[in-house]
Structure 1
Amino acid sequence: MQSHFSAIVIDDGPGPDRAALKQLDNSELPHANVTVRVSYSTLNYKDALAITGRAPIARSFPMIPGIDLVGVVEESESPMYKSGDAVLLNGWGVGERHWGGLAQRARVDADWLVPLPTTFSPREAMAIGTAGYTAMLCVMALERHGVTPEAGEIVVTGAAGGVGSFAVAILARLGYKVAGVTGRLDEAQYITQLGASIVLDRAEFSAPGRPLQKERWAGAVDVVGSNTLANICAATKYRGVVTACGLAGGMDLPASVAPFILRGVTLVGIDSVMCPREERIAAWKRLSTDLDLSKLPHIAEEIGLSEVIATAPKLLDGKVRGRVVVDVNS
């Protein structure tokens, strides 16, 4: 095992020098029971916030961002894994409280890892990453609450982004009629290629609306929050289900109780970070059957580790479509 590795390292403080590509020694890795030789990671919205300092994502410094990783076990003190096992990780506070995946090596707890499904190559697994896994958790929640394709239209916000792209693709493959919402109408063709039957302008949802609106949605996957989530709840059908997994539009929810007490609407919170291991494994198993892998080249682009810092502000400014896969060895 080589003693040095490359990593994106964030130090405390503002400015362009906050993050840098550095060489680290294995002795600097945090304490945990499994060491992974990372092959791919990702650049997520949360990672970009941490790198740019636009939000206090990193809780200690120095910090290696990267909430996703896939690779091969090099050393293990846990009976759960042995050297050579292919594994992946999503969430669990890596890139926030514990060094993450935007590095050639990571040391993590065995409980945070899941076996890499044989259906996916390492690169495909990261093209899916937290975004696809979160989208699958949303779909599973809709199903768990009885929302079937026959129930009616499902609305997906942020449809040109990571979670939204996968939610559209998965729901369409399962036979649902999907409406994609985006602030980038120039991406309408991309969203329809993923399976949406209609693409709607984000502006229709982002302003304050009436507390109870004409019933339209049987279900929803929302990554935006704020007025958008409030308007979706207000227009959800009787006993419809809304899954909420993001806050791109804000942490507030200026809503009324009317949809919940007059129409029996269910609002389901989706947390991908601390989701129990059994449910993670179930979600990845579903992804292996319910995601059309031919869609991945449309959803994901690849960059090298040296390009991460420059790409982060572009992602936050809405200039990146879908997913960003990071080859940590280039």
Structure 2
Amino acid sequence: MSSDFRALMLNASDDGKKVTPEFRTLSVNDLPEGEVLIRVSHSTLNYKDGMILNGLGRLVRQYPHVPGVDFAGEVVESSDDRYSAGDQVILTGWRVGESHWGGYAQMARVKADWLVPLPEGLTTAQAMAIGTAGFTSMLAVMALEEQGISPQLDGEILVTGAAGGVGSVAISILAHLGYRVVASTGRPENSDYLKHLGASGVVDRAELAEPSSRPLLSERWQGAIDSVGSTTLAHILAEMKYHGAVAACGLAGGADLPATVIPFLLRGVRLIGIDSVLCPYEKRVRAWQRLVTDLPKERLTEATQIVALADILPYGEKILKGEVRGRLVIDVKAC
């Protein structure tokens, strides 16, 4: 096995305000420490990746850095008994691509605890079509289920940021399970796409982002999966039905929450935060098994675009502008 491989590496200016990407040839000796060495096959482009590629949000504190917040591939070497050469594995979370070198390289070395075996019935490309975003979607669905939300209840489930990675996979899962799903998007041209994924209706993002002076609005949603936050999340909380539940992940609209405690006190609304990073191993495995059975493969394929790692840079800006629809899988071998 050659010890050399190609990687996308980021360097920062002395003041940290400008990040410059560069494709380089590296050696496995350059990789950070870890028990498992992996030949990376596929990664993805998430919203967080777009921020990192453009030096936004100070998600990366130490340069040079290899981005890519998730990846899938084949074990080359392992000092941990749980993994052997040839095993197929997935990595999502654990600040990979932020504080630890990530998936935009043909080789990676990580801690064994961060990995999950590739479930039977998935390829590495399909696993990355799901990726951190799809994994987060399943965690959100599971959180709603744990709060007693089910397809048998009278009410609709709202999904915000619907055309993005988390939203599009969440719609597909919920519709497959029999929920009535309403999608929220700021782009009317995405309506047909979202309905094809399984949404029964589409609402304009601006309608939900409109701040209200009233702590409670007419009851509308039995459950919600929100990846926007800020005024959108506040608006959703005010419209929840009695004992409704919101699974919140991502802060595309900001971290401020201009809401009151009234929805929680008078309607018993539950707000559950979804953390796909520090997720216990058993729950991670269970979520990936659910993704094999509860996410229609044909919907996954339709919502996926594959791009070579060598061509990724323009997409970093596109995803920040909301111009990437569905899932963007990165073929790391093509670099």
TM range (shorter): over 0.9
Say which of 193, 210, 234 aligns to 1:207: 210
Say which of 240, 258, 262 aligns to 1:258: 262
Note the C-alpha offset of 1:16: 7.2
Say which of 291, 295, 299 aligns to 1:291: 295
1:219 aligns with 2:212: no
- Give secondary structure in 1 for the equivalent of 2:103: coil
Note the C-alpha offset of 1:217: 0.4
The amino acid across from 1:245 in the alignment is C
1:315 aligns with 2:319: yes
Note the C-alpha offset of 1:7: 0.9
Percent of pairs with identical residues: 53
1:11 aligns with 2:11: yes
Note the C-alpha offset of 1:185: 1.2
- Give secondary structure in 2 for the equivalent of 1:224: coil
The residue that corresponds to 2:179 in the other structure is 176
TM-score under structure 2 length normalisation: 0.97
Note the C-alpha offset of 1:311: 1.1
The residue that corresponds to 1:267 in the other structure is 271
The amino acid across from 1:204 in the alignment is E
The residue that corresponds to 2:164 in the other structure is 161
Q: How does 1:104-183 map to 2 (within 5 A)?
A: 104-151=106-153, 152-183=155-186
The residue that corresponds to 2:43 in the other structure is 41
CA offset digits 1:216-267 (Å, max 9, x no partner): 1000000000000000010000000000001111111111111000000000
1:281 aligns with 2:285: yes
The residue that corresponds to 2:82 in the other structure is 80
Q: For the Cα contact (< 8 Å) 2:169–2:300, is it kept in 1?
A: no
- Provide the rounded CA distance (Å) in 2 between the counterparts of 1:143 and 1:162: 21
CA offset digits 1:171-203 (Å, max 9, x no partner): 000000000000111000000000000011000
The runs of 5 or more residues in structure 1 that have no matched partner are none
The amino acid across from 2:91 in the alignment is L
- Give secondary structure in 2 for the equivalent of 1:36: strand
Q: For the Cα contact (< 8 Å) 2:40–2:73, is it kept in 1?
A: yes
- Give secondary structure in 1 for the equivalent of 2:236: helix
The residue that corresponds to 1:69 in the other structure is 71
CA offset digits 1:258-302 (Å, max 9, x no partner): 100000000000000111111110000100110000011221101
Note the C-alpha offset of 1:150: 2.2
The amino acid across from 2:157 in the alignment is I
The residue that corresponds to 1:101 in the other structure is 103
- Provide the rounded CA distance (Å) in 2 between the counterparts of 1:131 and 1:89: 12
TM-score under structure 1 length normalisation: 0.98
- Give secondary structure in 2 for the equivalent of 1:58: coil
